[in-house]
Amino acid sequence: MEENQYYLFDEMEIVLVDFKTDGFILDIGGGGEGIIGRLKGRDVIAIDIRRDELMEAPAGPLKIVMDARDLTFPDDSFNQSTAFFSLMYLKTREDQLQVFQEIHRVLKPGGSLYIWDLVISGHPATAPDIYIVPLWIRVACDEIKTGY
């Protein structure tokens, strides 16, 4: 891969501190490293469109293969939802809008959505097709080096 085809961000350090929750947390894109599941364990319902990503995530949360554009949960099901570096995988504005509408639908009135992600516009002028984001994450007792 040629250097002008990608943009490499500096490594980012994220220290994920516990946050107060009430009931189950819907974790959008909760596969892979399963960061929210590592923090909140059995309080998490982790969904991911890819079964292999869910199987890779540590044990603890309930794992369900599901498309965030079409959540099969009833309205007003959750007080909290999270998205840890997963929204960037949505390819179109329509997909983004659909996911946010679905999250809004399943959140109870006054519910919260917590997002950890990256804004890539302007880095540099959004010319490359590929962006590489190295992360060092500290969550609970774990230190994870990964990248997206």
Q: Which backbone phi and psi does 137 adopt, to 5 degrees?
A: -115, 130
Give Cβ neighbours of residue 107 (< 8 Å, ≥ 6 apart).
76, 77, 78, 79, 80, 81, 113
* Helix%, strand%, coil% for the chain, nearest 5: 25, 35, 40
Per domain, the residue ranges of the chain are 3-147
What digits encode the pLDDT tens for the residues 99-137? 999 999 999 999 999 999 887 666 555 556 777 889 999
Please state the pTM of the whole predicted model. Answer: 0.90
117 neighbors 14 (Cβ within 8 angstroms): no
What digits encode the pLDDT tens for the residues 19-42? 899 999 999 999 999 999 999 999
Q: Is the pLDDT of residue 146 over 70?
A: yes
3-147, what's its fold? Answer: Rossmann fold (3.40.50)
Please give the Cα distance from 31 to 54 (Å, whole number): 4
Predicted local confidence at residue 67, as pLDDT: 98
